[in-house]
Amino acid sequence: MSLADREFDGLLVLPHVRVQNANAISSPLTHGFPSMTAFLGFMWALNRKLKAADIPLQLEKIGVICHWHQEQVQEGYVRTFHLTRNPVAKDGSTAAIVEEGRIHLELTLVFQIRAIMQEGEVHLLFCGDESLRRKAAWMIRELVGSMRIAGGTVLPPRPGPGVRVTPALMGWPDQEMDQRTLFRRLRRQWLPGFTLVGRDDLMQRRLEQLRLQDPEVTVLDAWLDLSRFNYRSGRDKKDRVIWTHDRPEGSGWIVPIPVGYAALSDLYAGGQVANARDQTTPFRFVEGVYSIGQWIGPHRLRRVQDLLWWGEHHEDGLYRCCSGYESPSADGDDESPSYPPVSAETL
């Protein structure tokens, strides 16, 4: 059974985690927020920390709610990163500047968790012992404080009016009505904020629309089209020049995102490739995989799976971050606006 369909035991919520100088360059083509691959890597690193601390929990999926961000850039039509001045070289010449994008964040991290069976029984963490769950949650929060998230430093929590900083470890109810009640309470606690979800369906829909105009349109064309506002000039009733774009009203906060890697070579055994990170782990060359994401307010989510991400590995060499978000259109209630047809000549 894949992670997409597996039942889980509970949730771990780490509210208002402050991160300083995280990596804002998520890929060679995108910037503005760390990639979901960075958060999945953080989750796997935290899993190793939990095992070393003898905490019987397995983190399976992660959701990210962003409450505040401050990208270190010079504002303007063209944005430039705030870069550090490195010391001069040995001969006194100016050292080369390596462009580094940084961003300060305040995040709520939500993990889908599964209890590790001990002696054939579920651990006491999910048997009604609230004090034990509270202690474990704070232990995990302290472990997170010693780690890095997307290359950024985790700062101590900063309590404030209406800001929850207490971590929570909770079991997931069996009854659907209880699940909905709990999720409604959690959604209110995550406001104000936005969560990033995957919208592969929008790109597929846009690709089909563009191919009605030009059968030669590629997936890259659809991705670029959704990543921008396509402005065109026209004239109003008074013969004045006006500019309009094809992004429908209410289309949401749609962004291009990296979602993983695709293999460019066969899988080499450890030690076959020179200058690899280590000589024991298998190695292969890869390239980035891109898709479309959308920032959505937590109050618009219908179920907890909508905000969660997990990693999948396919035998053909695809390493991909998968989103559990399901568009309302899947139930016949389509809230996603349709883009108007556009001639491929404008791509």
pLDDT given for residue 104 in this prediction: 92
Distance CA 226, CA 209 (A): 12
pLDDT given for residue 330 in this prediction: 53
Q: Is 154 exposed, middle or buried (0-12, 13-18, 19+ CB in 10 A)?
A: buried
pLDDT given for residue 264 in this prediction: 92
pLDDT in tens, 245-287: 877 777 788 899 999 999 999 999 988 988 888 888 889 999 9
pLDDT given for residue 237 in this prediction: 85
Distance CA 132, CA 1 (A): 30
**Residue 58 near residue 47, CB atoms below 8 Å:** yes
Question: Coil, helix or strand for 140?
Answer: helix
pLDDT given for residue 345 in this prediction: 37
pLDDT given for residue 341 in this prediction: 46
Q: Which two tokens stand for residue 135?
A: 């202690």
**Got the DSSP string for 150-161?**
TTEEEEPP--BT
pTM: 0.85
pLDDT given for residue 6 in this prediction: 61
The stretches in the chain having pLDDT less than 70 are: 1-7, 117-129, 329-347
